[in-house]
Chains A and B, each alone.
Chain A
Amino acid sequence: MNVLDSFLFIALPYVALLIFFIGTIVRYRATKFSVSSLSSQFLESKSLFWGSVPFHFGIIILFFGHLIGFLFPDTVLAFNSEPVRLLIIEISAFIAGLVLLFGLCMLLYRRLSNERVAVVTTKMDIFVELLILAEVVIGLLVAYNYQWGSSWFAAVLTPYLWSIFFLQPEIEAVSAMPWLLKAHVVGAYLIVALFPFSRLVHVLVAPLHYIARPYQRVLWNWGRKEVRNPSTKWTQHRPENT
């Protein structure tokens, strides 16, 4: 265990998580207006389709793949005990990675080539895209060079990640990993740390509550049954729409 490993796999994750949680909460509370998907589809639509759709579906599949490996390692290992299932998981994850890569390249090309989109592009947008690009390429290289990752992730990396969350970091296993994989882990921490400073915050406000909501929304400033009641206390009230 050397100093660099301690920094990358103990200090960095805690710093990243701290920045993530405090930063996103502060940003959401203080500058709620700045939280948006910042869609540029209104200015350019055709090439966005070939970028945004594969990118998002690819990254969602891979995110949940990693999440399942993190939350239910035993289930994943049990599932993978049948070679055919393991092969299916490996191949479909790799395809998802390629789809993601294709979409991301299209998005990056669109940002750099389209005049109108360039107007609504910040340096941070480009930086985030390059960082994710590096993360995806490294991830694909890991998957290609060190096969059966869905199994060894669950066996080796999940305990490490759990140890981070239980505040008892155990980094022996991850320190022994090849540098390519170490880079993938560090890249992930950097992305997490970038959330509050970039458009990545839109992930956290994904509108899943829409499914449970009734279609129409009528907001009252006052409970209308109380508003004409003389005993209503006027001072204790917050409008619904703030």
Chain B
Amino acid sequence: MDIKSQISMVFHLDKCIGCHTCSIACKNIWTDRKGAEYMWWNNVETKPGTGYPGKWEDQDIYHGGWQRDGSSIKLRGAGKGKGLANIFHNPKLPMIDDYYEPFTYKYLDLIEAPESDDQPTARPISLITGKPMDIKMGPNWDDDLSGTPDYARNDVNLKKLSPTEQQAMFQLEQMAFFYLPRICNHCLNPACVASCPSGAIYKRGEDGVVLINQDVCKGWRMCVTACPYKKTYYNWHTGKSEKCILCYPRIESGLAPACMHSCVGRIRYLGVMLYDADQIHSAVAGAGSDAEIVQRQKDMILDPFDPAIIQAAKDNGIADSTIKAAQESPTYKFVKEWDLALPLHPEYGTLPMLFYVPPMLPVMASVSSADNSEQAKKMDPKSKFWDDNWLYDTSTKDIFGSIEDARFPLEYMANLFSAGDVGIVKAVIKKLMAIRIYRRWKTVGDISEQKAMAALKEVNFSVKEVEESYYLTSLAKFGDRFVIPPAHREQAIEMLEFTGDAKGSVGFGTKRKPERGS
């Protein structure tokens, strides 16, 4: 057993309101630089939708991630053979247009345009060429599906669904979607690290943060292809790749990363997990099916209260403060104790350490026809007219009734969070539902105690567990959501200057201004 500690994350999707505050916080700190304008280390996608870069989940296009190959694993689009053979031209590299061409507007024209009969306009200017351009795509243009069915219908996760299931989804799509915030997963089996010919990308042993050494990176661009989540980005100006650094200067001093700190919905949790690094390879290579990886990854995560584990952790040099943080870790509770959080696309084989509590809302609801003529009569016909005759119905007659005949196919959720295994997702959603039923009995009281307890019993949840998970979901304070052991100064990892000094540069605290080579 080789125990290591890993900073891991949980995003509670039911709480995400899609406000993009996280994206802005990240952009303002790290990527407001030339060459990085198009990068969103943190982005929030509307699901179902195509995401950023477009259709990133379709590995038939991008060839990212690992493939199980007999008793071993191999990189799908990179690696020693493919990577070096394609080094002069990488056929699977996403292009700037797959993200979007960054732009600004000629605002000065609004003030300086000479007097004329026409209103002056601020024309869009490309941030690459500096010339006027037609904007075809921008950051989050698929936000809330932008009033078109195209984004949702081209969602890669729908491919495996039957036509009737897809039809049911599109009916629901008119009124329900959810948000999927994404950052680098800081995987246990990172494909970007494995694909880097220069060896510039590495996983920090101390906390598992995956970083790119900007001095060592030579711009061979294989990491962009290899990362199935498309969370490494090529800076076209400096000729180096960049990625989310999990705000490691903040983490080292015990602060939450900017995206998490700023989260309005308080959906984000960050904590330490202890895991057995010896199982990394077998967790992916030894899995009989893609869905089996989910359980195998969970099995790698170790109980931080077990005295044997604690001793083994100490022998491996893990600090007492880190072990204590692992015991109080909110992510350990969500992922391991309560089985409420799942990794995104476990089938890519990178063992991502960002877990998601799947959203219940779109699953719970069903569409029922309703007579809305009463309400319509009350409205002023000139200003508003209500001709809808459906109802977004979230009432529950039977326990878990609406899960069994959910309009939003669970297959879709399963394609996102459990490699297509509906059983895994359904078990999690049932638990979430049980918490809700229990709390409804407690607070509203229109559900009987027997029904609430029956719900808990069916998902094998104790009253203590349900109260704790309810607390951590709804009431948790800052210190409950982020349990971060500060780095020990004597073993501090990348001792930096004040991050404000690096503003406008690449922000990695390099002592010389990082300038593009000739």
Contact = CB atoms under 8 A, between A and B. Distances in A.
Interface of A: 30-43, 45, 48-49, 52-53, 55-57, 115-116, 118-120, 122, 124-125, 197-199, 201-202, 205, 207, 209-211, 213, 215-228, 234, 239, 241
A35 B96 CA distance: 23
A33 B206 contact: no
A33 B215 contact: yes
A207 B84 contact: yes
Contact of B128 (A33, A41, A116, A213): A116
9 tightest Cβ-Cβ pairs between the two chains A and B: A224-B317, A34-B517, A207-B197, A220-B205, A215-B194, A36-B239, A38-B239, A32-B215, A210-B197
A112 B497 CA distance: 41
Contact of B193 (A31, A199, A215): A215
Contact of B131 (A43, A115, A207): A115
Contact of A53 (B88, B199, B204): B88
B199 A56 contact: no
14 contacts: A36-B238, A42-B224, A49-B91, A52-B89, A57-B88, A115-B129, A116-B128, A210-B83, A217-B199, A219-B203, A221-B493, A224-B317, A228-B314, A241-B494
A216 B128 contact: no
Interface of B: 75, 79-80, 83-84, 87-91, 93, 95-96, 128-131, 189-190, 193-194, 196-199, 201-206, 211, 213-221, 224, 234, 236-240, 280, 314, 316-319, 490-494, 510, 512, 514-518
A210 B84 contact: yes
Q: Would you call the interface of chain B mostly helix, strand, loop, or mixed?
A: loop
B199 A209 contact: yes
B518 A234 contact: no
A48 B129 contact: no
A36 B80 contact: no
A25 to B, nearest CB: 15
A74 B211 CA distance: 50
B353 to A, nearest CB: 14
Contact of B205 (A115, A122, A221): A221
A108 B211 CA distance: 35
Given A216-B194, A220-B206, A225-B317, A33 B512 contact: yes
Contacts of B214: 33
A31 B512 contact: yes
Nearest to B38: A42
**By CB atoms of chain A within 10 A, which of B75, B198, B238 has the most?**
B198
B218 A36 contact: yes
Contacts of B194: 215-216
A234 B490 CA distance: 7
Contact of A39 (B96, B221, B492): B221
Contacts of B512: 30-31, 33
Question: Which of B218, B240, B280, B493 gathers the greatest number of chain A CB atoms within 10 Å?
Answer: B218
Contact of B518 (A34, A119, A222, A228): A34
A118 B491 CA distance: 45
Nearest to A41: B93
Given A34-B517, A198-B518, A228 B213 contact: no
Contacts of B193: 215-217
Contact of A37 (B216, B218, B490): B218
B89 A37 contact: no
A42 B490 contact: no
Contacts of A116: 96, 128-129
Contact of A38 (B129, B206, B219): B219
Contacts of B130: 119
Specify which of A120, A210, A219, A222 lies most central, judged by the most chain B CB atoms within 10 Å of its CB. A210
B97 to A, nearest CB: 9
Given A33-B215, A43-B236, A49 B189 contact: no
Contact of B95 (A42, A120, A211): A42
A228 B129 CA distance: 54
A158 B316 CA distance: 57
A118 to B, nearest CB: 8
A30 B515 CA distance: 12
A183 B442 CA distance: 91
Contacts of A118: 129
A41 B221 contact: yes
Nearest to B194: A215
Contacts of B75: 215
Contacts of A225: 316-317
Contacts of A201: 517
Contacts of B202: 217-219, 241
Contacts of A234: 490
B189 A216 contact: yes
Given A42-B221, A120-B237, A33 B205 contact: no
Nearest to B74: A215
A59 B455 CA distance: 71
A228 B88 contact: no
A115 B131 CA distance: 9
Given A41-B93, A234-B490, A34 B128 contact: no
B205 A224 contact: yes
Contacts of B197: 207, 210
Contacts of B314: 228
Contacts of B224: 42
Nearest to B281: A216
Contact of A119 (B88, B128, B199, B216): B128
B518 A33 contact: no
A45 B95 contact: yes
B450 to A, nearest CB: 52
